[in-house]
């Protein structure tokens, strides 16, 4: 393990944290960056495990609300409905992700051209969605109907294709189904916890015998960087979205995907 590898891990961790909760595909960004940097991780496990840093950022920012839900769970129907909605939304990705894990990691994660194309297509979708005049029906992320939560959960499965974006697919689904922009983003935050925690645990289990002490250090560096970066994004994203919508992220995706395709054509 070289000092250069640690620097790359730190930079990729920052990139993960900055992009995890934006509808731009953090996985797509770090896989592309890793490809051009020549960064390699055992079974692409680094790219999954550092997401735990982003999970902890959500827990820090929303600790008071999560704690309130926890302590009122036995007595509050609203808290129980919220938890059940998150569980329902999580289940499709849990089942499909476990069944398709090998294909996702060995094929989709190794296709930088596919990532660039999905970044561009996702950007076009965001630009289109931001032009729609949808009157929000659901403005409270903690009170989404179960049917809405399930549909958002199935939409999240699209993000198993790197470049699609977990937050992007869940936010767009929420918007098209009548959620307000802040509520759709907030529900995406909440849904990230079981989804990313599940991916972390499953990947760690699958690669437990292949990881070395050096891998652990590299992952720890990326994890810390992701936590710090995600903390900054989560605190400011809802305000930004309320003012500017999702158009800036759509153009960003198109730019990154386009530059990526040109770079692949030039240097492979």
152 vs 28, higher pLDDT: 152
* Mean pLDDT of the region 69-88: 93
Predicted confidence (pLDDT) at residue 105 exceeds the cutoff of 90: no
Q: How far apart are CA 238 and CA 53, in angstroms?
A: 20
Q: Please answer whether residues 192 and 153 qualify as being in contact, where contact means their C-beta atoms are separated by less than 8 angstroms.
A: no
Residue-wise pLDDT for 2-56, tens only, equals 778 889 989 999 999 999 888 999 888 998 998 888 887 766 778 778 888 888 8
Q: Which pLDDT belongs to residue 255? A: 96
User: How confident is residue 106, by pLDDT bands cut at 50, 70 and 90?
Assistant: confident
User: How confident is residue 260, by pLDDT bands cut at 50, 70 and 90?
Assistant: very high
Q: Which pLDDT belongs to residue 15? A: 92
Q: Please answer whether residues 183 and 139 qualify as being in contact, where contact means their C-beta atoms are separated by less than 8 angstroms.
A: yes
CB proximity list for 108: less than 8 A, separation 6 or greater:
114, 160, 161, 162
* Mean pLDDT of the region 122-132: 92
Q: Which pLDDT belongs to residue 76? A: 92
Predicted confidence (pLDDT) at residue 74 exceeds the cutoff of 70: yes
Q: Please answer whether residues 82 and 149 qualify as being in contact, where contact means their C-beta atoms are separated by less than 8 angstroms.
A: no
Predicted confidence (pLDDT) at residue 238 exceeds the cutoff of 80: no
Cα 177 to chain centroid distance, Å, stands at: 20
Q: Which pLDDT belongs to residue 43? A: 61
Predicted confidence (pLDDT) at residue 201 exceeds the cutoff of 80: yes
Q: Which pLDDT belongs to residue 234? A: 84
Share of the chain above pLDDT 70, in %: 98
Q: How far apart are CA 264 and CA 41, in angstroms?
A: 20
* Mean pLDDT of the region 68-87: 93
Q: At what angle do helices 77-99 and 146-156 cross, to 10 degrees?
A: 30
pTM, full prediction: 0.85
The overall average pLDDT reported for the chain is 88
User: How confident is residue 211, by pLDDT bands cut at 50, 70 and 90?
Assistant: confident
133 vs 169, higher pLDDT: 169
Q: Please answer whether residues 230 and 54 qualify as being in contact, where contact means their C-beta atoms are separated by less than 8 angstroms.
A: yes
CB proximity list for 161: less than 8 A, separation 6 or greater:
108, 114, 118
Q: Which pLDDT belongs to residue 77? A: 92
């Amino acid at each position: 393990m070289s000092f250069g590898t640690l620097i790359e891990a730190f930079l990729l961790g920052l990139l993960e944290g900055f992009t995890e909760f934006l509808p731009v595909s953090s996985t797509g960004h770090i896989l592309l960056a890793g490809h051009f940097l020549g960064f390699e991780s055992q079974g692409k496990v680094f790219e999954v495990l550092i997401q735990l840093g982003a999970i902890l950022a959500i827990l820090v920012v929303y600790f008071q609300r999560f704690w309130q839900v926890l302590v009122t769970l036995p007595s509050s129907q609203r808290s129980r409905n919220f938890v059940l909605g998150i569980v329902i939304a999580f289940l499709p990705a849990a089942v499909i992700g476990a069944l398709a894990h090998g294909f996702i990691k060995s094929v989709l994660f190794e296709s930088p051209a596919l990532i660039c194309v999905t970044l561009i297509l996702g950007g076009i979708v965001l630009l289109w969605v931001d032009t729609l005049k949808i009157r929000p029906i659901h403005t409270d992320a903690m009170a989404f109907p179960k049917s809405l939560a399930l549909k958002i959960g199935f939409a999240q499965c699209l993000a198993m294709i790197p470049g699609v974006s977990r937050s992007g697919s869940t936010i767009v689904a929420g918007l098209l189904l009548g959620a307000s922009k802040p509520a759709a983003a907030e529900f995406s935050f909440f849904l990230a916890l079981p989804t990313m925690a599940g991916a972390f645990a499953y990947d760690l289990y699958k690669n437990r015998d292949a990881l070395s002490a050096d891998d652990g250090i590299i992952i720890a560096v990326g994890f810390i960087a992701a936590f710090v970066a995600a903390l900054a994004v989560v605190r400011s994203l809802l305000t930004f979205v309320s003012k500017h919508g999702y158009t800036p992220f759509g153009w960003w995706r198109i730019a990154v995907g386009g530059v990526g395709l040109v770079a692949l054509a030039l240097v492979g």
